[in-house]
Structure formats: C-alpha cells, structure tokens
C-alpha cells in the first residue's frame, strides 16, 4: 500500500507538471525540485487528491517531511534543493522585459539598443569627391552627427577637407545621407587640422533629428559606450565596448605637434566610422570617433566631446581655433612622482602638486618671460594649478595677453613671472 500510494502521488505530480507546464530542476545531486503551475480547478483537485493519498497513510510521518508547493504537498526529498517559482508575468514573448538599472551608467537588458535608438536618426553618412581642374582625384567616406535641428553636423576634418600647409582646402561637394533615406548637399563651414574636427551644414525645409551632447569629463575607464557610423558605407552600424582610457595623450600614440587627448575604447571602428558619435548609455554624445590602430584590435580613439564643444565655440567666435603657445614642455606632478624627484635631488622644491617644466624652447615666450628647466608651476593667472589641462583651459584663446605665473625653484625659491602667449604655429 505504501509503495502504491507513493507511486500514485508521483503520477499525480507528473500529470500536474504535464498539464500545468511544470519543470524539473536537476541540481546535480540526489535531490531535485518540482515546480508546478496549474489552473485553479486543477490545483484544487490535486491538492485534495494528494492530501488524501499522502496523509491517509501513517507511514508518512513526521510532518516536517512535507512542504507545500503550488497549492499541494510534496515530499521533502523532492524539494530539498528547490528554487522559488519564476514569475514570468513581467516577461514578454519578445524578450523586452523590465530594463530597470540600479544607477545611471549601469548596463540593462536594452541599454545599448536604447542608446543607439536615441542617437541613430541623427547619424549621417558623408561622402566627398576631391576634384582639381575637372579631375576627380579621390573620394572619401565618413560619418557625422546632426547636433542641431537646423542641420549643423559634427564630423572629422579629414573626411571633408585636405590640408595644404596651414590652409584647409575643402574637398568639394559633400553629400550627406540620413538614416531615413533623405540626401542633402552639405557645405563645410569650418575644419581644424590638429583636432581633426569639422562642422558641415545642410539645409532642410523641416527640422532634422538631432543628438544630445553629453559630458566626457564624467567618463571612467570601464564605462560602457556605443559607437555609431557608416563603416565602408554600411549605414546604421552599431558597435559597443568600454572606455579603456579617458586621457590617452597624443604623444603616447607617437603623434607630434600640439598636445591632444583622446578617449580610448575597444569599440569596433573601421574606415567610414570617422566622424561618427561615441555615445554613453544615456544616449548622449561623449566623443567623436577619429581613428584606430590598424595593426591591432580594440584600440580605437575619439575626441572628447568637452574638447569638441570648445573647438566649435572657437569656430563661432573666430572662424578658426586659436591656440596660445608658451614654448615649454610640461609634466603633471603627483605625490609619487614628487617623491621620486626628491629622492634624486634633495633640492627639489617642497610641493604637493603642480606642473613641472623640464624643458624651455629657445626664443619662446616662456624663455623671454624667464622660465627655466626645473621650475614647478604652482599658480597660473591667479589660480592654483594641479594639471596641464588646467593651464590650457585658463589660457583659452588668450594670445598677446600678459599672464602672471608663480613657480617654485630648487631649494623652495619662489619666483613670479609674466608670460605673453603667442598663437601656435599651425605647422608645428
């Protein structure tokens, strides 16, 4: 009787599983769990039947050998490794379940898709023909992003302009294709060689989709980002990755000339992605994709959007980017570097931070002002200094304007200098 009763109960459980879409979970040991979902009438029937079968036999004591799951008792040996039933009510057949994130920047199920959808309509394909005396010398392709409904587009300078000496030569006709299939002829308003940023304008009778600008200063290594563009003219291409470095210096990449900083990511970037947006998970532009390392995978670079905004402001104010030049090499100081320098020379000034000047260019504004190798800049134009970026930001476009600088020299000798920046030679 005991054996038949257990067999009867097992058959009822199996029937319930078949009728109610139950599932058996095997956890790799002798115990398994049965989770049953059944309609209300079937649940009541099973509950009554199994209760009568199981508890009518005294051999099933003690009471703790039973647990109640799905409305009817089940042998404890079946549920010792059980898991709670999954609530499938919030899951749609399309897989678009709740995409809540614990905080901004966290990756949810649809985070990348939503970020791409927010910016995608504003991403354009740009192609330009380079002609000379009626001869077509070449064609370049790239991407861009509409940042204003009036048709203002951000892109890369090398996509729409050639640079002969210090003068930008526009490549001629610029064709702009939108994601919705519309095509326009674009006009290159401005292009800057050193930053590789350009602004193109198209005219439309109706407002155009525009992307929102974010802030690159809030990015951290490891943050998720999305790259959009038209690699090899394949429009509407989306790739994703993380931020690998937030301040990759141009000198790290073997690039000479004026100092620049890039966002390094592992997003897939190819020919034609140049000028396309780098986007955070909130669907905001945080950079403009400009280049990749050809001999490696996962080494892509973008101009930070905070720098791009300043370049656009220069375009609006001066028609070009004005960069002040001092004529010094500079090095950011931190406690670790300072400790090493003091170990090498006991006369190194007692500072907690600042910017070291290891070299001064002969004939430069800095040399004329009295800068010397080994100086540590601690104050610039009345503001305490902790980084090179702060000096660059303070100078802005101040050319020909005297700036007071406080430095510390060996043995803590304080010196006050006055330097007059010159405009940087574009050929440098």
Q: Catalytic residue numbers?
A: 158, 196, 274
Tokens 């030569």 -> residue: 169
- End-to-end CA distance of the chain, in Å? 97
Contact 29, 14 (CB under 8 A): no
Residue 193: C-alpha distances to residues 3, 277, 321, 400 (Å): 87, 19, 9, 23
- 305, with CB counted inside 10 A (0-12, 13-18, 19+), is buried
Phi, then psi, of 401 in degrees rounded to 5:
-105, 125
Beta-carbon count within 10 A of 67 CB:
14
Beta-carbon count within 10 A of 97 CB:
13
- 111, with CB counted inside 10 A (0-12, 13-18, 19+), is buried
**CA triplet 60, 64, 70: central angle to 5 degrees?**
90
- 302, with CB counted inside 10 A (0-12, 13-18, 19+), is buried
Closest CA relative to residue 303, chosen from 270, 331, 332, 265:
265
């Amino acid at each position: 009787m005991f054996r038949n009763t257990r067999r009867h109960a097992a058959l009822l459980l199996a029937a319930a599983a078949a009728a109610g879409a139950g599932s058996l979970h095997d956890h790799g040991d002798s115990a398994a769990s049965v989770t049953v979902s059944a309609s209300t009438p079937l649940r009541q029937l099973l509950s009554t039947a199994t209760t009568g079968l199981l508890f009518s036999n005294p051999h099933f004591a003690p009471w703790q050998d039973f647990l109640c799951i799905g409305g009817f008792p089940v042998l404890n040996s079946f549920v010792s490794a059980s898991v709670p039933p999954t609530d499938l009510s919030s899951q749609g057949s399309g897989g678009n379940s709740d995409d809540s994130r614990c905080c901004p920047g966290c990756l949810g199920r649809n985070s990348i898709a939503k970020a791409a959808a927010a910016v995608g309509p504003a991403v354009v394909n740009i192609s330009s023909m380079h002609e000379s005396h009626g001869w077509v010398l070449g064609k370049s392709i790239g991407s861009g992003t509409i940042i204003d409904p009036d048709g203002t587009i951000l892109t890369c300078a090398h996509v729409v302009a050639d640079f002969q000496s210090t003068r930008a030569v526009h490549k001629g006709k610029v064709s702009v294709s939108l994601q919705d299939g519309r095509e326009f002829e674009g006009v290159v308003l401005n292009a800057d060689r050193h930053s590789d940023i350009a602004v193109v304008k198209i005219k439309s009778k109706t407002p155009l989709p525009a992307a929102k600008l974010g802030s690159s200063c809030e990015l951290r290594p490891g943050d998720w980002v999305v790259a959009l563009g038209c690699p090899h003219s394949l429009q509407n291409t989306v790739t994703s990755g993380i931020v690998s470095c937030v301040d990759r210096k141009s000198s790290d990449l073997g690039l000479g000339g004026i100092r620049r900083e890039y966002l390094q990511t592992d997003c897939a970037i190819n020919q034609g992605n140049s000028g396309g947006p780098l986007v955070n998970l909130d669907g905001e532009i945080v950079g403009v994709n400009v280049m990749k390392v050809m001999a490696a995978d996962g080494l892509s670079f973008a101009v930070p959007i905070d720098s791009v905004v300043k370049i656009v402001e220069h375009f609006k104010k001066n028609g070009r980017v004005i960069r002040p030049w001092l004529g010094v090499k500079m090095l950011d100081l931190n406690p670790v570097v300072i400790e090493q320098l003091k170990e090498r020379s006991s006369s190194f000034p007692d500072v907690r931070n600042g910017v070291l000047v290891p070299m001064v260019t002969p004939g430069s504004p800095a040399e004329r002002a009295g800068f010397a190798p080994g100086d540590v800049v601690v104050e610039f134009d009345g503001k305490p200094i902790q980084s090179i970026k702060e000096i660059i930001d303070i100078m802005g476009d101040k050319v020909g304007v005297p700036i007071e600088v406080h430095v510390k020299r060996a043995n803590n000798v304080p010196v006050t200098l006055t330097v007059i920046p010159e405009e940087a030679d574009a050929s440098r």
